[in-house]
Amino acid sequence: MDLEALGKYSALHPKPAGLALQYGTAGFRTKAQQLDHVMFRMGLLAVLRSKAVAATIGVMVTASHNPEEDNGIKLVDPLGEMLHPSWEEYATQLANAEEQELQKVITEICQKAAVNLHKDALVFIGRDTRPSSEKLSQSVIDGILVLGGQYHDYGLVTTPQLHYMVCCQNTQGQYGKATLEGYYEKLSKAFMELIKQSHSSGECQRHLKIDCANGIGALKLSEMKPYFPQEVLIHIYNDGTKEKLNHLCGADFVKVHQKPPGGLDMKPNERCCSFDGDADRVVYYYKDTTGHFHLIDGDKIATLISIFLKELLAKVRQNFKMAVVQTAYANGSSTRYLEETLKVPVHCVKTGVKHLHHKAQEFDVGVYFEANGHGTVLFSKAAETKIRQLVKEEKDDEKREAAKVLENMIDLINQTVGDAISDMLVIEAILALKGLTVQQWDALYADLPNRLLKVQVADRRVIDTTDAERRVVTPPGLQEKIDALVKKYKLSRAFVRPSGTEDVVRIYAEADTQENADALAHEVSLAVHHLAGGRGAPPQP
């Protein structure tokens, strides 16, 4: 380790006094001007991680659906998955170390994680379209070079594209070519193979309006357009040429406010969708003839994909284990529909993509989506091998054809992480193959009315939960109170959980009517305020 160079470069990326940040599910995220030292140090960490696992590591500079002034950074592990939890701890230590402790912290990480500094290191870097991203990714490069790492800068890419590249690189091209062209070719080829078989190639079905949140999704979707056949009519809105990133648009805005984004005029029954700022989430929506807005969120996306895959799996007759993984935020109607109508097992896990991804890996086919539109489908190695083998060798026509559709689905889905472009193509292919309109998809089940609230508390750590965050262990008496309140309403449930980032407690309630869901949420918020050290006046209805 060249200590002189480390000291010299570190001084060029000084840490603001008194700033402490935590590496969470989304990596680091805060105001862009506070991140220069973090970027430099994550360049260092990426090299250490690469040397530790003898593989290429990814670094993505983005703050996803946050306002344009913010930025952030997350590391990508060798198979395109999120950084290992033990290294999240190292990231936090390294980001918060004082200047003079930097070398000591690096040495400690090397000892704890058995890092051989003489090994080679390669880091892939990507960034979103924020004004601050280019300069910040340069700081990452400074960190990589100080520890003698090599890097490849992909420049502007969506977050899922970077995850994809890292996975391709570390599987020696088995997953695909580690280039943007490779990504576009693999996805568009699988998509075209799928829609070739759709009978309802009615013109109107192919129109899709996409709100790209004024972010990277617009750039990459435009680059991908030439790879699609003529009959795919994608119309891009909020492309970043006029307005600010994520401002009054994007998947998060549409989901939270339950209304269409600015910058996109919707006509009745037109199919529309929104990406978020770094294009790893997608939600669909439409307006009916009475002008009423209908949101189709991650739960309904997971349901559509599950229906389609279940039919195909039945045709190939292979005893594959399929399941859907949700969090407690999934609408009760979706869980009921999946379990009772579709007869697909549903598993509930703690909030956070890493928990969903981890659980989905236990099945031959694991479908997971958060209600916010982030999700994907995972296929076990054994299932994938068997499906590809059936395509080549199966004599029975029906079985072989079903296997072929499954094989194209496997190639179209980005299994490393939720990917708005890939998920959107999967949905479009399924709607075309099943001849479904957006209204018919929406009508699969009716969402139970629900309400999200938050209560400010003095210390969020007083709330401890169990059963995938669906029940409260502490403070004493709170769960009993929630149980009693839930009993008052039909089809109701409610849960509370501490925020991962601020001293607030989040409350979710659902019931048979909006009025009852609102009343239940309010009563639970009063109980939380009273029993969990609420700050300020009690919540008002």
333 is in an annotated binding site: no
Measured between alpha carbons, how far is 206 from 200 in angstroms, rounded to an integer?
A: 10
Structure tokens at 385: 């091998």
499 is in an annotated binding site: yes
372 is in an annotated binding site: yes
299 is in an annotated binding site: no
- Let me know: does 414 contact 160? Beta carbons within 8 Å: yes
Measured between alpha carbons, how far is 213 from 67 in angstroms, rounded to an integer?
A: 11
Spatial CA neighbour of 233 closest among 428, 439, 431 = 428
- Let me know: does 267 contact 254? Beta carbons within 8 Å: no
280 is in an annotated binding site: yes
Which sign, positive or negative, has the C-alpha torsion 8, 14, 20, 24? negative
501 is in an annotated binding site: yes
483 is in an annotated binding site: no
Measured between alpha carbons, how far is 344 from 359 in angstroms, rounded to an integer?
A: 15
Q: Which residues pair with 508 in a beta bridge?
A: 452, 495
Catalytic residue, candidates 10, 64, 422, 492: 64
63 is in an annotated binding site: no
Structure tokens at 410: 């496997």
Q: Which residues pair with 61 in a beta bridge?
A: 73, 127
Measured between alpha carbons, how far is 358 from 355 in angstroms, rounded to an integer?
A: 5
Helix 478-486 and helix 514-531, axial crossing angle in degrees, nearest 10: 160
CA distance readout (Å), 210 to 129, 134, 147, 421: 18, 26, 42, 10
Measured between alpha carbons, how far is 163 from 419 in angstroms, rounded to an integer?
A: 10
* 393: exposed, middle or buried (Cβ count in 10 Å: 0-12, 13-18, 19+): exposed
Indicate left, alpha or beta for 263 from its phi (over 0: left) and psi (-120 to 50: alpha): left
370 is in an annotated binding site: yes
Q: Which residues pair with 237 in a beta bridge?
A: 211
| Residue carrying structure tokens 């409260």 | 472
222 is in an annotated binding site: no
506 is in an annotated binding site: yes
62 is in an annotated binding site: no
CA distance readout (Å), 314 to 58, 114, 413, 430: 38, 47, 20, 16
Structure tokens at 317: 């007759």
- Let me know: does 94 contact 146? Beta carbons within 8 Å: no
Spatial CA neighbour of 215 closest among 188, 182, 247 = 247
Active site (annotated) includes residue 64: yes
Q: How far apart are the first and last CA of the chain?
A: 59
Instruction: Go through 7-22 and write b for each residue having 16 or more CB atoms within 10 A of its CB, e for each that does not.
Output: eebbeebebeeeeebe
Secondary structure, 3-state, 6-48: HHHHHHHCCCCCCCCCCCECCEEEEEHHHCHHHHHHHHHHHHH
Specify the amino acid at residue 459.
D
| Known binding-site positions for substrate | 370-372, 497-501, 506
Could you list the residues known to form a binding site for Mg(2+), using ranges: 64, 276, 278, 280
Catalytic residues: 64
- Provide the annotated binding site: 64, 276, 278, 280, 370-372, 497-501, 506
